[in-house]
């Protein structure tokens, strides 16, 4: 049925001479990104103590990915991979979250910050510039975290509109971070607004959708990187009437976290409702994902550990995609995938081209879902650096190698994720051949990761 609909739409395009691509082939795109949302923190992934009916709806109406990864266990590297479609190591200096106030947190990032070069250079951005060149109107509302310097501004990276904050986290009611920098901007200028941050981001998104409804012939890309449920853990009813203390900023209760989750779910619902009301839903591809795993009090079950590590809990993320008429409702995909795979898919469905003409690092994962293609084994790599600690990981099929160096102390573990998904029993001593093979593969990958800046 799905393929018949696609062929029928193509026939209509040919008959009516619509050029270059008809609406069915060039969908609107909405990419909603949660911040530090645990893999096990939504209804589709088994949360026991929160209600997320709108995310349940997305899963029922589209595809749920069960083996989706971020390309870093923190914000900046993950977002870099989404907007470039490449491993974050290819950018340089973006393997760790940029610190509050534009601080580099490992040697390369510290050096770049000292030269005022810490961020995503516009010439290395792929997704928004590619879509813009293909005729899309692009907007981003919410968290940027890809550079504080004006030269790294979203409006210079393919986006036509931006309201949001530049750093990694802001207080939800006063929209400031723990530095003296003005980080909440509308366009290029600081802005002062009243209201809860999740609601303001959602209001901006709905206003953009309403605006685009008045020009339905031009497709749009709405990138919606929410702050929630990243710390400070403040639900809509948690305003203290003052800024939190440093201790309050970084800690929170599960009760507040769940309230933030449920409020974020309602925000997703507001966007879905606006698409429906405007008649945009049927021709809009909607993605919901998290940038990395949660920290406490988030829940990454059934995976081990949390944000900031390369265990599954740090990098396995929820991912839901709805594309009416193209992706069969209620689909579940066990294909090993990454958020940068979505970039490859979005460039293709938009009829766009990669600006620099160089290959991307992801696969077209949405095409595999549409085609009902069998699962294929993947080989994926990670490197995460923060201060004196470096983590590496490689996944090849079901095998996963993790390496951690802290100064002169180096530890390595080999896991079989099929037999031991909780990463509890290292096989480095019992499978020396596989251990050595993944070590070599990781070394070769690292040699290839020469920064493009």
Q: Please identify, among 377, 392, 423, the residue that sits at the C-terminal boundary of a domain.
A: 377
pLDDT value at 205 more than 70: yes
Question: How buried is residue 64: exposed, middle or buried, by Cβ count under 10 Å (0-12/13-18/19+)?
Answer: buried
Q: How far apart are CA 369 and CA 154, in angstroms?
A: 31
Q: Enter the pTM of the model.
A: 0.94
Confidence of residue 32 (pLDDT cuts 50, 70, 90): very high
Average the pLDDT over each of 25-29, 37-41, 336-340, 445-449 and give the range with the smallest value.
25-29
Which residues, at least 6 apart from 226, have a Cβ–Cβ distance to it below 8 Å?
32, 33, 34, 35, 142, 143, 198, 201, 264, 267
Mean local confidence (pLDDT), 182-186 = 94
Asked if the structure places residue 18 within a domain, the reply is: no
Per-residue model confidence (pLDDT) at position 25? 74
- Quote the strand ranges of 218-370, DSSP E: 220-225, 284-290, 316-322, 331-333, 337-338
Q: How far apart are CA 25 and CA 326, in angstroms?
A: 10
Confidence of residue 416 (pLDDT cuts 50, 70, 90): very high
Asked if the structure places residue 12 within a domain, the reply is: no
Specify whether 372 is located in the same domain as 400. no
CA distances (Å), 87 to each of 173, 310, 382, in order?
Answer: 34, 15, 8
**CB-CB contact of 104 with 187 (8 Å):** no
pLDDT tens-digit series, residues 153-168 = 999 999 999 999 999 9
Asked if the structure places residue 22 within a domain, the reply is: no
Average the pLDDT over each of 1-10, 284-293, 331-340 and give the range with the smallest value.
1-10
Six-digit token pair at 54? Answer: 């709108």
Specify whether 368 is located in the same domain as 402. no
Mean pLDDT of all residues belonging to the chain: 94
Here the CATH number for the domain that contains residue 437 is 3.30.1120.10
* Catalytic status, residue 75: yes
Mean local confidence (pLDDT), 125-142 = 98
- Would you tell me how many other CB atoms lie within 10 Å of the CB of residue 266? 16
Confidence of residue 372 (pLDDT cuts 50, 70, 90): very high
pLDDT value at 18 more than 70: no
Total structural domains within the chain: 2
Here the CATH number for the domain that contains residue 60 is 3.40.720.10
202 or 247, greater pLDDT: 202
pLDDT value at 2 more than 80: no
Reduced 3-state DSSP string for 45-113: HCCCCCCCHHHHHHHHHCEEEEEEECCCCCHHHHHHHHHHCCCHHHCCCCCCCCECCCECCCHHHHHHH
**CB-CB contact of 70 with 317 (8 Å):** yes
* Catalytic status, residue 145: yes
Confidence of residue 15 (pLDDT cuts 50, 70, 90): very low
Q: How far apart are CA 389 and CA 410, in angstroms?
A: 10
pLDDT value at 22 more than 60: no
**CB-CB contact of 293 with 306 (8 Å):** yes
Confidence of residue 4 (pLDDT cuts 50, 70, 90): very low
For the chain, what is the largest distance between any 2 Cα atoms, rounded to a whole number of angstroms?
Answer: 68
> Nearest to residue 358, comparing CAs of 138, 76, 124?
124
Specify whether 341 is located in the same domain as 402. no
Find the domain containing 389 and state its range: 381-448
Mean local confidence (pLDDT), 285-294 = 98
Asked if the structure places residue 9 within a domain, the reply is: no
Specify whether 370 is located in the same domain as 411. no
Q: Which of 39, 68, 96, 145 is catalytic?
A: 145
Specify whether 349 is located in the same domain as 386. no
Asked if the structure places residue 429 within a domain, the reply is: yes
Mean local confidence (pLDDT), 336-358 = 98
pLDDT tens-digit series, residues 218-274 = 999 999 999 999 999 999 999 999 999 989 999 999 999 999 999 999 999 999 999
Q: Which of 75, 226, 230, 319 is catalytic?
A: 75
End-to-end CA distance of the chain: 46
Specify whether 405 is located in the same domain as 274. no
Per-residue model confidence (pLDDT) at position 151? 97
Per-residue model confidence (pLDDT) at position 157? 97
Per-residue model confidence (pLDDT) at position 147? 97
Specify whether 72 is located in the same domain as 101. yes
DSSP letter for 63, please.
E
Asked if the structure places residue 412 within a domain, the reply is: yes
Q: Please identify, among 325, 349, 377, the residue that sits at the C-terminal boundary of a domain.
A: 377
Q: How far apart are CA 230 and CA 186, in angstroms?
A: 21
Specify whether 324 is located in the same domain as 369. yes
Confidence of residue 19 (pLDDT cuts 50, 70, 90): very low
Asked if the structure places residue 229 within a domain, the reply is: yes
Per-residue model confidence (pLDDT) at position 11? 38
Alpha-carbon dihedral angle through residues 282, 271, 139, 235, given to the nearest 10 degrees: -160
pLDDT tens-digit series, residues 102-131 = 999 999 999 999 999 999 999 999 999 999
If residue 415 lies in a helix (H) or strand (E), which one and from where to where? strand 409-416
Specify whether 363 is located in the same domain as 429. no
Alpha-carbon dihedral angle through residues 425, 428, 432, 436, given to the nearest 10 degrees: 130
Sheet hosting strand 409-416, strand order edge to edge:
379-386, 389-396, 399-406, 409-416
Six-digit token pair at 223? Answer: 């990138």
N residues, the chain: 453
Asked if the structure places residue 7 within a domain, the reply is: no
Specify whether 293 is located in the same domain as 431. no
Six-digit token pair at 66? Answer: 């069960």
Specify whether 318 is located in the same domain as 257. yes
If residue 32 lies in a helix (H) or strand (E), which one and from where to where? strand 28-34
Q: Please identify, among 339, 359, 377, the residue that sits at the C-terminal boundary of a domain.
A: 377
Specify whether 209 is located in the same domain as 350. yes
**CB-CB contact of 414 with 398 (8 Å):** no
């Amino acid at each position: 049925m799905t393929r018949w609909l696609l062929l029928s739409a193509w026939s209509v395009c040919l008959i009516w001479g619509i050029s270059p691509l008809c609406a069915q082939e060039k969908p609107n795109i909405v990419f909603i990104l949660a911040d530090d949302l645990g893999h096990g923190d939504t209804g589709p992934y088994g949360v026991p103590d929160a209600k997320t009916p709108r995310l349940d709806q997305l899963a029922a109406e589209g595809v749920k990915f069960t083996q989706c990864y971020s390309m870093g266990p923190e914000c900046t590297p993950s977002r870099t991979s989404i907007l470039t479609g490449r491993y974050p190591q290819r950018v340089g200096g973006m393997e760790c979250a940029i610190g509050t106030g534009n601080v580099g947190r490992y040697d390369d990032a510290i050096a770049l910050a000292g030269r005022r070069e810490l961020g995503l250079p516009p010439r290395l951005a792929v997704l928004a510039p590619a879509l813009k060149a293909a005729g899309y109107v692009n907007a981003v509302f919410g968290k940027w975290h890809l550079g504080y310097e004006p030269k790294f501004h979203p409006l210079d990276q393919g986006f036509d509109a931006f309201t949001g904050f530049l750093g990694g986290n802001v207080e939800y009611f006063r929209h400031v971070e723990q530095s003296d920098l003005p980080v909440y901007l509308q366009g290029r200028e600081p802005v002062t607004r009243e209201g809860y941050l999740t609601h303001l981001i959602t209001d901006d998104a709905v206003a953009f959708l309403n605006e685009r409804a008045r020009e339905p012939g031009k497709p749009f890309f709405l990138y919606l990187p929410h702050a929630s449920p990243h710390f400070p853990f403040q639900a809509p009813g948690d305003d203290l009437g003052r800024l939190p203390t440093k201790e309050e900023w970084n800690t929170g209760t599960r009760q507040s976290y769940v309230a933030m989750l449920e409020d974020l779910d309602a925000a997703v619902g507001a966007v879905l409702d606006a698409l429906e009301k405007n008649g945009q839903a049927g021709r809009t591809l909607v993605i919901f994902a998290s940038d990395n795993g949660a920290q406490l009090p988030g829940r990454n079950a059934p995976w081990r550990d949390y944000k900031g590590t390369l265990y599954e809990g740090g990098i396995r993320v929820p991912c839901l995609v709805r594309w009416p008429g193209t992706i069969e409702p209620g689909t579940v995909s066990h294909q090993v995938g990454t958020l940068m795979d979505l970039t490859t898919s979005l460039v293709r469905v938009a009829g766009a081209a990669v600006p620099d003409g160089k290959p991307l690092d992801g696969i077209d994962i949405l095409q595999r879902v549409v085609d009902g293609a069998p699962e294929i084994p993947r080989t994926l790599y990670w490197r995460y650096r923060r201060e004196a600690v470096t983590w590496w990981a490689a996944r090849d099929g079901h095998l996963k190698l993790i390496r951690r160096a802290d100064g002169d102390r180096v530890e390595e573990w080999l896991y079989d994720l099929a037999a031991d998904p909780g990463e509890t029993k290292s096989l480095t001593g019992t499978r020396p051949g596989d251990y050595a093979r993944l070590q070599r593969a990781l070394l070769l990958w690292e040699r290839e990761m020469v920064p493009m800046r």
